């Protein structure tokens, strides 16, 4: 009798099926990637990178990281290890003031130079044509400055909790209207003082080219520190899309219905001019 009922349910299309995971792109990229990770210290820098650099002939894109005010790379170990596990070579300045972008530019150039240094573990293993700038708070402004001041070095930018203009010192001022590469603005929905949606929406509107913006519900200004919280999935997916040509990751931000726009864990999501 039970068998008969089951057959009828199948025929009617109501047989219980495995639940489809919500927000599958975010879920895919919020966990560690396929690369084991190692870290190293260099004068002025903390490095996070795949332990088996160049395996299978892979060339690893570069991420230059900018700390928030008075912060150091180890406070962002969740995010930086995550990016390395997805095949990126990450160089993080140990400077606690990265708003001008000069520290992040120097960091990117340091790692690029290692690609031609036969004594370096990075020798011939990096894709120096694919470089992203990512930063938090003051370092988020630094990531924008890195892109606009480095003569086309940077291919994409992810400013995390980019401060409203009132919080930006004159020496750290940045100009998002000068960005010529795609940018993803993310912040916490509870970060209503330093990086509120009103400021991000203005920045988004000023970008002349490709851009996306979203706020993580329940997150505050420093949620990105430590484990990286709920930011990991889409930050990783964006960088995979922009720097590794990952078409699956692209679906989070582009296409008929970007996944980000239907994700109930986020709010104020918008995109424009994304290929």
Domain containing residue 156: CATH number: 3.40.50.1820
Residue 217 lies in a domain: yes
Residue 162 lies in a domain: yes
Residue 147 lies in a domain: yes
Number of structural domains in the chain? 1
Residue 204 lies in a domain: yes
- At a CB cut-off of 8 Å and minimum separation 6, what does 265 contact? 23, 26, 216, 217, 230
The whole domain housing 44 covers 24-272
CA distances in angstroms from 143 to 42, 83, 106, 107, 140, listed in the order given:
21, 16, 12, 12, 5
Residue 111 lies in a domain: yes
Residue 14 lies in a domain: no
In the sheet with 60-66, reading across from the earlier edge strand, the strands are 37-42, 45-50, 89-93, 60-66, 126-136, 156-160, 183-188, 211-216, 266-272
Side-chain-side CA neighbours of 208 within 13 Å: the count stands at: 7
- At a CB cut-off of 8 Å and minimum separation 6, what does 22 contact? 263, 264
pLDDT tens digit at each of 275 positions of the chain:
433 333 333 333 333 333 334 459 999 999 999 999 999 999 999 999 999 999 999 999 999 999 999 999 999 999 999 999 999 999 999 999 999 999 999 999 999 999 999 999 999 999 999 999 999 999 999 999 999 999 999 999 999 999 999 999 999 999 999 999 999 999 999 999 999 999 999 999 999 999 999 999 999 999 999 999 999 999 999 999 999 999 999 999 999 999 999 999 999 999 999 99
Q: In the structure encoding, which two tokens stand for residue 126, read together? A: 């990096």
CA distances in angstroms from 228 to 30, 148, 204, 213, 236, listed in the order given:
10, 26, 23, 18, 11
Residue 97 lies in a domain: yes
Nearest residue to 144 (alpha-carbon basis) of 131, 155, 130, 158 = 158
pLDDT of residue 1: 40
pLDDT of residue 9: 31
pLDDT of residue 23: 53
Distance from C-alpha of 121 to C-alpha of 180, rounded to nearest angstrom = 32
Residue 18 lies in a domain: no
């Amino acid at each position: 009798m039970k068998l008969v009922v089951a057959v009828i349910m199948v025929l009617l299309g109501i047989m219980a099926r495995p639940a489809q995971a919500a927000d599958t792109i975010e879920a895919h990229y919020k966990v560690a990637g396929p690369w084991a990770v190692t870290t190293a210290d260099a004068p002025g820098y903390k490095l996070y990178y795949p332990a088996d650099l160049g395996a299978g002939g892979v060339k690893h894109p570069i991420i230059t990281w900018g700390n928030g005010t008075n912060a150091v790379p180890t406070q962002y170990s969740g995010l930086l290890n995550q990016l390395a596990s997805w095949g990126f070579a990450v160089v993080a300045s140990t400077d606690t003031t990265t708003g001008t972008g000069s520290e992040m530019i120097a960091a990117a150039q340091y790692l690029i130079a290692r690609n031609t240094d036969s004594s370096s573990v990075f020798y011939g293993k990096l894709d120096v044509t694919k470089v992203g700038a990512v930063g938090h708070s003051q370092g988020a402004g630094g990531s924008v400055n890195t892109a606009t001041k480095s003569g086309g070095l940077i291919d994409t930018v992810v400013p995390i909790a980019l401060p409203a203009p009132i919080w930006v010192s004159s020496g750290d001022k940045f100009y998002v209207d000068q960005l010529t590469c795609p940018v993803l603005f993310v912040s916490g929905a509870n970060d209503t003082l330093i990086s509120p949606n009103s400021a991000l929406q203005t920045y988004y509107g000023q970008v002349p080219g490709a851009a996306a913006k979203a706020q993580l519900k329940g997150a505050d200004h420093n949620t990105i520190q430590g484990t990286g919280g709920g930011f990991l999935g889409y930050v990783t997916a964006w960088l995979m899309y922009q720097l590794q040509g990952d078409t699956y990751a692209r679906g989070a931000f582009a296409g008929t219905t970007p996944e980000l726009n239907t994700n109930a864990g986020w709010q104020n999501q918008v995109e424009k001019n994304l290929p």
